[in-house]
Structure 1
C-alpha cells in the first residue's frame, strides 16, 4: 500500500518534527547492518515524529530510538525469560538472523516489529504484546499496517479499534502522562463521560471507541490537555497527557472530578508505574 493511500486517510502535518535526513537514514542502516524498508522511510519523511490518534507511533531515528541500541536492549531484557520459557518466543530477536526488529509501538504496550529476513520491502509486521507473549502476524509493511488499522480492517485481537472520529496525526510534543485508576462510578459510562467533559470543559472531541466490553472516550481541553476516559472489566481510569508545567492544575481538576463521577481514587501513576498525586 502506498503512502498516497495513507495520506488520504490522515493528512500530513503542517509542522513536522525530527524528519530524518538521507544521511541519518544511512547512519541508522549502517548501525543495524540492515536496509530499512522504503515505506518506513517515506512514513518518517512525510509525517515526522508523532502519534496517530494519540495511540500508535513509529520510533524516530533521532536520539537512538530506532537503531541497534534499542533493539539490543530488547534482546538483553528478554534473554533470561527466553531461556526459561522458550515457547513464549516463537521468533528470534534482532540481531539474531531473521529476528524481530522494533519500528514502533502503541500506548497499550504493543511492540510493532518487522520479521526480518529477505528483502526489507517484503518484511511482514508482527504485533508483539510483551506482557502476555501474544504475537499477531500481518503480511504487509508498516504503512499498509497503519492504514489497515485506521480503516478498521485489522482484527481486534491484533489491535483495538481506533476511536470513531476524524483521523489525525499529531507531531510529537513533550507531555507527561498520568493514569488515574478508579473504583465505583455512578450511572452509565455515557452519563459519566458527559459529566467529565463538562467538569473539564470546554473540550473538543477526539473520538470514542467501543470494543466488546471496553469503552474509551477521547477529548482535549481548552488548555490542550489530552484526556481519555476508559472503562473495561480490568480497570476504570482517566489517562491525561499534559505539559509538565501544568501538572498542579491538571491534578486539581482531575482529582476534583473523581467524586463528582461517583468514583473513589485507587491510585495515580506515571507510564513507568511511579505513583503520584497521593495525599
Structure 2
C-alpha cells in the first residue's frame, strides 16, 4: 500500500497536464490474463495510464502501448526479437538482459524515432525504472515509473540525451490511435500574405488549439500545427512553395472536411492545385478513396 498513493498522484498530475481522450482505445481488458501470459505483475501506475489514455501518442512523439485489442501495432512487447549479437554475450553493447530473463527489459512504449521505452524489471513492479533504449543502441535510465516519466517529459522536466524535448510554452496533448484519412492540399499562392492566409484558415475552422510551429533560421520556411477543438482533425499549414495544408481526420468526417476546407481555401484567395494521400499518391478528385490512408 505504500506505493499506491505516489502511483495515483503521478497519474493524476499527468491527467491534469495532458487531458485524456473521451473514448480511449484498447484501454480495458483482463489484467490477470495479461500478467499470466507475460509472466510478471505490472506496475499500478501503468494500469492507471492505460485505463485513462488507452493506446495513443503524447505530443506526436511518445507512444503508449496497451496489452489489449488486436491491432498488430499495439501491445506490450514481452517477446523482444533478439538484436544482432547477443545481450548475454555482448554486455558492452547490450548492458541489460531482455525479459523474461531476471531483471530484463520489458517494452511498454515507443517513440516516433523508433526508440523503445522499457521497464527494467528488477525488484517490485512499482519500483521499476524506465530505460530509454534508442534505435541506435544507446541506453538511458530514469529512476521513475512510466506515469512520472511521461508527466515529467510532457512538462519539460526530464533531461534526456536521447529523446527530443517538448517545445517551450507549448501545451502538451494526447491523441488516441484510430483509423484516419490523410490529405495534402497543395495551393496556389494567391494575393494574401502568409499570416493572413493562416489567420483565415484558423478562423474558418475555429475554434482551434496550437500544437506548435517551426520556422527556418531566416523565416523562409515555416510550419504551423494546430487541431480542431470540436472535431478530431489535426492540421499543418506548410508555407513551403507551393504552400500546402495537411490534414488527417476520421474517415466518416470526409464530406465535412471537404466542405470546410474548400471554403477556407476560397477565403484565403487560393486554388487547390493538387490533392495527395499520405504516401504521395495524387488523387483525381477530393472524393477518390484509397486504402493507403489508413493508419
Q: TM-score range by the shorter chain?
A: 0.5 to 0.7
Could you tell me whether the CA contact under 8 Å between 1:163 and 1:207 is conserved in 2?
no
Could you tell me whether the CA contact under 8 Å between 1:29 and 1:36 is conserved in 2?
yes
Query: Could you say if the C-alpha distance between residues 62 and 164 of structure 1 is closer, same or farther in structure 2, counting changes exceeding 3 Å?
Result: same
Could you tell me whether the CA contact under 8 Å between 1:177 and 1:239 is conserved in 2?
no
Query: Could you say if the C-alpha distance between residues 91 and 197 of structure 1 is closer, same or farther in structure 2, counting changes exceeding 3 Å?
Result: farther
Could you tell me which residue of structure 1 aligns to residue 155 of structure 2? Answer: 151
Q: Does 1:243 align with 2:250?
A: yes
Could you tell me whether the CA contact under 8 Å between 2:236 and 2:247 is conserved in 1?
yes
Q: TM-score, normalised by structure 2?
A: 0.63
Q: Does 1:66 align with 2:72?
A: no
Using the alignment, how far apart are the partners of 1:215 and 1:123 within structure 2?
39
Could you tell me whether the CA contact under 8 Å between 2:213 and 2:225 is conserved in 1?
yes
Between Structure 1 and Structure 2, the one with more strand by share is 1
Using the alignment, how far apart are the partners of 2:139 and 2:134 within structure 1?
6
Deviations along 1:42-100, one digit per CA (max 9) or x if unpaired, are: 22233344443454332122126434xx442x415xx3xx2299665443333344332
Q: Specify which of 26, 29, 34 is matched with residue 28 of structure 1.
A: 34
Could you tell me which residue of structure 2 aligns to residue 206 of structure 1? Answer: 210
Q: Specify which of 17, 29, 35 is matched with residue 9 of structure 1.
A: 17
> CA RMSD for the aligned pairs?
4.6
Using the alignment, how far apart are the partners of 1:237 and 1:89 within structure 2?
44
Q: TM-score, normalised by structure 1?
A: 0.66
Residue pairs, 1:71-86, within 5 angstroms: 71-72=78-79, 74-76=80-82, 79=83, 82-83=84-85
Partner-residue secondary structure (3-state), 1:29? helix
Query: Could you say if the C-alpha distance between residues 220 and 66 of structure 1 is closer, same or farther in structure 2, counting changes exceeding 3 Å?
Result: same
Could you tell me whether the CA contact under 8 Å between 2:86 and 2:94 is conserved in 1?
no
Could you tell me whether the CA contact under 8 Å between 1:110 and 1:128 is conserved in 2?
yes
Q: Does 1:56 align with 2:62?
A: yes
What's the offset of the Cα at 1:32?
A: 0.8
Q: Does 1:224 align with 2:232?
A: yes
Could you tell me which residue of structure 1 aligns to residue 114 of structure 2? Answer: 109
Using the alignment, how far apart are the partners of 2:93 and 2:195 within structure 1?
39
**Any stretches of 5+ residues in structure 1 without a counterpart?**
none
Between Structure 1 and Structure 2, the one with more helix by share is 1
Higher Cα Rg, which structure = 2
Could you tell me whether the CA contact under 8 Å between 1:163 and 1:209 is conserved in 2?
no
Could you tell me which residue of structure 2 aligns to residue 39 of structure 1? Answer: 45
